[in-house]
């Protein structure tokens, strides 16, 4: 219970601002604006990293709207409260002084019944009078008597000073005005209930709080909208960047008629075309170099073949030299072929030429083509089995046969170089065949197994990198490897929308798994397989 | 002794190819441009022509078309890349086959042998074949449509005979590649596709919607009965 008591100066006798009953301060229930912003700022820094720009703008707008609307509501509330209260207080003062004058006149007459007197003075509803006269307390209400008047107020008035005080009585706000009546040695107190005013202020506070809430939500909505609108050009930029990252280097963004965006858009476009130029220049360089190498290689291949056909006329040392020349010429040719192939992938100009084939036959044929050929070009048998799994027969795979043949050749060669050769090739369907639960096949897996020393897990990710030899460098057997074999495998398989990886073979060695989707990405299936690669 | 004409602007390649092919038993002449090739071909008989696609002046495609206007001689084109539309364009210009640089001389010799073998003794099935208004005399190497002779290259003729010998039966691209060109499973199916298309323009009433030489999706080609 508040009991701040203010002395009343002579003249008006009633203070403009009185002690504030506790319940009123509780009723406002709102922390001050400064606290709100500080709170929001700390929240913002904590969340900044986790929130997107859109959310941050929304949050800023919401916090701003909340702060502003709370401030406005607070000012409105306290101004209204002050106005209502002072109006009410002056009315109460007028009544109290009038009543006090009435009581004083009445008390001058000795026959006056004090009880009847104070009963007769109440005019405002809810106001009660308390009178101290002749050392006796009189009151109009049982609930409001001498004890209800705050002691500070009582003492101040009894010492001869008129005073007023706001206080709480049984949870309801009251104002007491005390006026000493020295002429009749009495003291008149009038207690006014402020319930009605408190109710009005509560309704006002509620309305203002609701308005602040609505404003906050509206602020957040506006913030969201503004952020989305401001970020809309960024969505275009994002799409463009994604397209560029996906290899569509000719993607450009349009600024529209926005001067602010124009700068960004033109900078972005400049960057992209520089990037495109550079990538194309590099790809062209590789391609040009490889092309230029083809002419001398053609000459070399033709002349070496002439020497080969006269091999028997050569001295043994010349024969050895010719063999070395022939071997490395083949390797060089392969390298140029591989580089050209890679440059086509890099330039994004690699195209699939699809055929629809039986997977088992495809693998058997591709494996058979890896067997070493004799001088007349006839190939020997392969030294490892090709096992076609259950459920593969009858499936048709749409595949670029040439690329598939290169994939198998590179995997077989890789195994020959590093792992003592392939031990087994498996052809499986994905998901695995099940006699009980039939599921449609989505992909074909070709597994190439060896029984070599295996590949450490740490190296597996690098295996498919260009020219990667890693710890296996020392194990390299003499061969025609170019260092591009496995990276080309990846590129060929990816072009089909498939994937390739290596894992430990059961027991010992490594298995390379190549997965081809039955229907490659970007293949709408409408074009007849027999017309693929041929423009109409 | 078969005579071969090499059209190649790189003198070194021309010389080395001549050396290698002479080693295989052919008589070889070399020229450096398309114009020379056309004029030389007009004066001397060649059994096979090798044309590089990249030539100064008229390019390999144009030279091939010029040869085709007067001759059905087997033509092998030499390309830098196998996966471009150059191959298809070259085949459409009338080439029978192609090799990619750098090629192994033995492989080129094998291609040449296959084409010349076909040119020499035509079809072993010497019966008279016909479908629709088309008549084929395998032994004479003559195709007539509505009684009028149709000029086919030897490869087109061989392909037509292969289809006509198995009416109603689907022949896969691999089978046709092997029987007509002597390629294995990994031969380039575009050879078949382009030759079928060329053939259709010669024997079909409406090549855009063929009635005789049909595409069987995912399987191959067949001659409708």
The residue ranges of every structural domain in chain A are 6-217, 259-343, 351-531
Interface predicted TM-score (ipTM) over 0.90: no
Is B174:B185 a contact under the CB 8 Å cutoff?
Answer: yes
The predicted structure's pLDDT at residue B32: 92
Kindly determine whether residue B83 and residue A351, on different chains, have CB atoms separated by under 8 Å. yes
Taking the Cβ of residue B218 and every Cβ of chain A, the question of whether any pair is shorter than 8 Å is answered with yes
Q: Show the tokens assigned to B5.
A: 């004409």
- Which architecture characterizes domain A259-343 according to CATH? Orthogonal Bundle (1.10)
Question: According to CATH, what is the number of the domain A351-531?
Answer: 3.30.565.10
Taking the Cβ of residue A439 and every Cβ of chain B, the question of whether any pair is shorter than 8 Å is answered with no
Which residue of chain B is at minimal alpha-carbon distance from A298? B102
The per-residue pLDDT for range B102-120, each reduced to its tens digit, is 888 888 988 998 888 755 4
Which stretches of chain B are DSSP H helices?
Answer: 11-23, 34-43, 60-70, 85-92, 105-120, 154-165, 173-176, 190-203
The per-residue pLDDT for range A270-320, each reduced to its tens digit, is 988 898 888 878 877 877 787 788 889 999 999 999 999 999 999 999 999
The per-residue pLDDT for range A408-432, each reduced to its tens digit, is 999 998 888 888 889 999 999 888 8
**Cα separation values, A190 from A4, A174, A340, Å:** 18, 10, 106
The predicted structure's pLDDT at residue A479: 55
How many Å lie between the alpha carbon of A238 and the closest alpha carbon of chain B?
33
Q: A-contacting residues of B 157-176, CB under 8 Å?
A: 173
Kindly determine whether residue B110 and residue A377, on different chains, have CB atoms separated by under 8 Å. yes
**Whether the predicted pLDDT of A24 surpasses 80:** no
Q: DSSP string of B14-67?
A: HHHHHHHHHHTT-EEEEESSHHHHHHHHHHS--SEEEEES--SSS-HHHHHHHH
User: Is the omega angle on the peptide bond into residue A254 within 30 degrees of 0, that is, cis?
Assistant: no
Kindly determine whether residue A369 and residue B102, on different chains, have CB atoms separated by under 8 Å. no
Residues of B in contact with A340 (CB under 8 A): 81
- % of residues, chain A, pLDDT over 70: 83
The predicted structure's pLDDT at residue A439: 82
Q: Is the whole model's pTM more than 0.80, yes or no?
A: no
The predicted structure's pLDDT at residue A534: 37
Kindly determine whether residue A301 and residue B189, on different chains, have CB atoms separated by under 8 Å. no
A118-140 mean pLDDT = 79
3-state secondary structure of A173: strand
**Domains defined along chain B, listed by start:** 3-120 (3.40.50.2300), 129-223 (1.10.10.10)
Which residues touch A369 (CB under 8 Å, ≥6 apart)? A379, A405, A408, A409, B184, B185, B186
CA-nearest of B111, B110, B137, B135 to B123 is B137
Taking the Cβ of residue A334 and every Cβ of chain B, the question of whether any pair is shorter than 8 Å is answered with no
Kindly determine whether residue B19 and residue A306, on different chains, have CB atoms separated by under 8 Å. yes
Is A397:A387 a contact under the CB 8 Å cutoff?
Answer: no
**Whether the predicted pLDDT of B224 surpasses 90:** no
- Neighbouring C-alpha atoms within 13 Å toward the C-beta of A42: 5
The residue whose two tokens read 């859109």 is A54
């Amino acid at each position: 219970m508040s009991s701040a008591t203010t002395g009343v100066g002579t003249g008006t006798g009633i203070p403009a601002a009185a002690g504030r009953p506790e319940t009123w301060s509780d009723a406002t229930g709102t922390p001050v604006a400064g606290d709100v912003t500080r709170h929001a700022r700390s929240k913002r820094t904590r969340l900044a990293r986790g929130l997107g720009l859109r959310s941050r703008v929304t949050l800023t707008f919401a916090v701003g709207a909340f702060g502003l609307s709370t401030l406005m509501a607070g000012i409105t509330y306290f101004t209204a409260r002050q106005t209502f209260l002072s109006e009410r207080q002056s009315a109460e003062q007028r009544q109290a002084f009038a009543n006090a004058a009435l009581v004083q006149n009445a008390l001058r007459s000795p026959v006056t019944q004090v009880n009847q007197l104070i009963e007769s003075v109440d005019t405002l509803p809810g106001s009660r009078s308390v009178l101290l006269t002749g050392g006796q307390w009189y009151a109009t209400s049982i609930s409001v008597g001498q004890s209800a008047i705050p002691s500070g107020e009582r003492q101040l008035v009894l010492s001869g000073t008129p005073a007023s005080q706001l206080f709480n009585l049984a949870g309801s706000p009251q104002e007491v005005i005390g006026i000493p009546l020295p002429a009749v040695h009495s003291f008149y107190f009038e207690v006014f209930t402020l319930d009605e005013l408190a109710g009005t202020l509560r309704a006002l506070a509620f309305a203002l709080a609701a308005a602040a809430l609505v404003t906050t939500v509206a602020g957040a909505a506006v913030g969201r909208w503004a952020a989305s609108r401001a970020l809309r050009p960024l969505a275009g930029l994002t799409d463009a960047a994604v397209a560029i990252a996906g290899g569509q280097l000719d993607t450009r963004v349009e600024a529209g008629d926005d001067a602010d965006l124009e700068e960004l858009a033109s900078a972005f476009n400049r960057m992209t075309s520089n990037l495109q130029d550079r990538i194309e220049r590099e790809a062209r360089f590789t391609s040009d170099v490889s092309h230029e190498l083809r002419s001398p290689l053609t000459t070399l291949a033709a002349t070496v073949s002439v020497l080969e056909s006269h091999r028997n006329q050569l001295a043994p040392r010349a024969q050895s030299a010719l063999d070395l020349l022939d071997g490395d010429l083949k390797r060089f040719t392969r390298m140029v072929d591989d580089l050209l192939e890679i440059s086509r992938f890099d330039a994004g100009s690699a195209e699939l030429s699809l055929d629809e084939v039986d997977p088992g036959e495809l693998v058997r044929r591709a494996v058979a083509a890896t067997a070493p050929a004799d001088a007349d070009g006839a190939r020997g048998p392969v030294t490892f089995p090709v096992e076609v799994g259950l459920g593969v027969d009858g499936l048709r795979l749409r595949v670029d046969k040439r690329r598939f043949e290169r994939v198998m050749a590179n995997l077989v060669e890789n195994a020959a170089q590093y792992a003592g050769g392939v031990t087994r090739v498996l052809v499986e369907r994905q998901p695995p065949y099940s006699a009980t639960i039939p599921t449609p096949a989505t992909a074909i897996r070709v597994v190439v197994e060896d029984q070599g020393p295996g590949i450490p897990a740490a190296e597996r990710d690098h295996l498919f990198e260009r020219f990667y030899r890693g710890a296996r460098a020392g194990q390299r057997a003499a061969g025609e490897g170019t260092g591009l074999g496995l990276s080309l495998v990846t590129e060929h398989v990816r072009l089909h929308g498939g994937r390739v990886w290596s894992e430990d073979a059961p027991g010992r060695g490594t298995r390379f798994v190549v997965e081809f989707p039955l229907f490659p990405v970007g293949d709408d299936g409408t074009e007849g397989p027999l017309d693929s690669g041929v423009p109409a | 002794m078969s005579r071969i004409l090499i059209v190649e602007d790189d003198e070194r390649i021309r010389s080395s190819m001549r050396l290698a092919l002479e080693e295989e038993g052919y008589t070889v002449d070399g020229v450096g441009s398309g114009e020379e090739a056309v004029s030389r071909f007009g004066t001397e008989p060649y059994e096979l022509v090798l044309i590089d696609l990249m030539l100064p002046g008229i390019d390999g495609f144009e030279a091939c078309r010029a040869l085709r206007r007067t001759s059905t001689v087997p033509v092998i084109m030499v390309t830098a890349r196998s996966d471009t539309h150059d191959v298809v364009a070259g085949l459409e210009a009338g080439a029978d086959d192609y090799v990619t640089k750098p090629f192994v001389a033995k492989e080129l010799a094998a291609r040449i042998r296959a084409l010349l073998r076909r040119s020499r003794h035509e079809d072993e099935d010497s019966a008279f074949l016909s479908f629709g208004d088309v008549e084929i005399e395998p032994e004479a190497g003559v195709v007539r449509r509505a009684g009028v002779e149709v000029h086919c290259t030897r490869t087109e003729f061989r392909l037509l005979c292969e289809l006509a010998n198995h009416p109603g039966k689907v022949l896969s691209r691999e089978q046709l590649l092997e029987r007509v060109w002597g390629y294995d499973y990994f031969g380039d199916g575009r050879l078949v596709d382009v030759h079928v298309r060329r053939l259709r323009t010669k024997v079909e009433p409406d090549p855009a919607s063929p009635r005789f030489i049909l595409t069987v999706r995912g399987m191959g080609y067949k001659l409708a009965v």
